[in-house]
Amino acid sequence: MSGRKFILALDQGTTSSRAILFDDRGTPRATAQRQLPQIFPRPGLVEHDAEQIWRDTVAMARAALSQGGAEPSQIGGIGVTNQRETTVIWRRDTGKPIHNAIVWQDRRTADHCQRLRRDGQDELIRARTGLIVDPYFSATKIAWLLDHVEGAREAAGRGELAFGTMDCWLLWNLTDGKVHATDATNAARTMLFDIHRQRWDEGLCKMFDIPIGLLPDVRDCAADFGHTAGDLFGAPIAVTGMAGDQHAALVGQACFRPGMIKSTYGTGCFVMLNTGTRAVTSENRMLTTVAYRLNGQTTYALEGSIFIAGAAMQWLRDGLKLIDEAPESEALAAGLSSTGGVIMVPAFTGLGAPYWDAGARGAILGLTRDSGIAEIVRAGLEAVCYQSRDLLAAMQADARAVGDLTLDVLRVDGGMVDNNWLMQFLADILGLAVDRPSVTETTALGAAYLAGLQAGLFPSTGEVAGLWRREAEFTPRMPAELREDLYDAWLAAVARVRTVA
Ligand code: ADP
């Protein structure tokens, strides 16, 4: 048998659980994936069956190992990455969840968040956690479970329960209940973790009435997380890497220098800017978060998201039936020299950063008798680029306020980045080069890199950065004047749909 080492990445996402086997160059060798059923008890409520997530994860891990022909002894380490914030509480004695997991999208704690804001707690929460008070984050979900599951609060008080996000839940099960731990990036999304002092915040735990004993131990992203139970894969495998999905993608894109940005273009769009050892507080309601923590050293990031990116293509396809497949948008857009003044503001669910206008709704403006399907489709793609500029401009302003940080590299991934026209227009509107990597499975790759760092497959992040490969680079070629005119027209269109100034 060759001495070749592999890393097994477990990518537990919102809609599927996957396992990908990577070799020691970061090349994917085998993939197994299973869709995850969504449970919708009522409108606005979303749950997952945590036990099914565990069963699927083990099954996919075994499938990837056997497909890749890898023995447990050849696995240097397991890296876990996951949908963030999704909350599960289980009994320590039986390992059984006391309720379905409450998914990040779930809005059942909106009233609780409203009360926190009304009581003026949002500033304190912001200062400690870097987060804006919102039902997304775990704290109010934990409080809801303790309040609504019979006997939960008493059991928690007696130390009988454990809380975790999906990383932590999987680790508990992988180690057969021996390790109750998470990493700093996942902890940073709970709204209970002080990102500056890097520890659970007792004041916040009191505010939410959550016993600190419910919470997991917080470790670096590349760390010793224990070994898998002996019978799980035939022999024990070390778990050595962990990070929330967006953070793992930042690592997978090797954005290790301040000023480097990764942007993921899928259904929505998630942007993360590495701000180095400084935690930058945003004036534009971006989130401040832990990019990753290695060797006890925390690197911070600013994070912003666009609610509707690829989802606009889904709407054009399924709602309006203007296209049969999203990739058709590329030829339609490229066939035009412009939209002829048509602008789409896809505020289907309100406007996010930097506008934060939940009441705003979408619009298509500037229609004439010449406007056709191609113009509208192209306007949908252009909107993704204008919104990216909105976000990056806000991040740039925040970064400037603290010093000399310049946004310099944008690395993209996600389903939309296959669209070459879109990538060129993005570079043009941002006035920034856009880099597309050869491996676009950046989330799983990031988890594999973290695990490989701890397992000694990669000596340092410098080594990892050297493995990153560019597949294509898009450099701005639009005249600056046209860029600014187009962007001004976008800003004017956004002003038309806003309900708050
Ligand atoms: P997610 O992980 O959010 O499910 P993906 O990263 O798989 O999303 O990306 C899928 C999204 O990208 C869909 O919304 C789809 O409409 C869009 N998409 C896929 N290919 C293209 C393309 N060539 N041009 C434009 N949009 C695309």
Report pLDDT for 43: 84
Both tokens assigned to 441: 């499975």
| Residue 327 Cβ contacting ligand 1 at under 6 Å | yes
| Residue 310 Cβ contacting ligand 1 at under 6 Å | yes
Instruction: For residue 414, give the ligand 1 atom closest to its CA.
Output: 6
Q: Which of 267, 328, 418 to mutate to test the pocket of ligand 1 (most atoms within 8 A of CB)?
A: 267
How many whole angstroms from 232 Cα to the centroid of ligand 1? 35
What is this structure's pTM?
0.93
Bridge-partner residues for 70, per DSSP?
none
Main-chain phi, psi angles of 217, to 5 degrees:
-70, 140
Instruction: For residue 415, give the ligand 1 atom closest to its CA.
Output: 9
Report pLDDT for 408: 86
Residue identifier of the C-alpha nearest atom 27 of ligand 1 = 416
pLDDT per 10-residue tile (average), the chain, 501 residues: 79 94 92 92 91 97 95 94 96 97 91 94 95 93 97 95 98 97 98 97 96 97 96 94 97 95 92 94 91 97 91 93 96 97 93 84 96 97 97 91 83 95 98 93 95 94 93 96 97 94 71
Report pLDDT for 327: 95
CA 136 to chain centre: 12
Q: At what angle do helices 110-118 and 138-148 cross, to 10 degrees?
A: 110
| Residue 418 Cβ contacting ligand 1 at under 6 Å | yes
Report pLDDT for 1: 38
Residue identifier of the C-alpha nearest atom 18 of ligand 1 = 416
How many whole angstroms from 396 Cα to the centroid of ligand 1? 27
Report pLDDT for 370: 95
Cα angle 233, 237, 242; round to 5? 115
Q: Answer for the pair 17, 32: CB distance below 8 angstroms, yes or no.
A: no
Main-chain phi, psi angles of 96, to 5 degrees:
-90, 130
Report pLDDT for 3: 62
Residue 27's CB is within 10 A of a number of other CB atoms, namely 13
Complete DSSP assignment for 372-401: -HHHHHHHHHHHHHHHHHHHHHHHHHHHHH
Both tokens assigned to 112: 């609780």
Handedness of CA 245, 249, 251, 257 (dihedral sign): negative
| Residue 319 Cβ contacting ligand 1 at under 6 Å | no
Report pLDDT for 169: 98
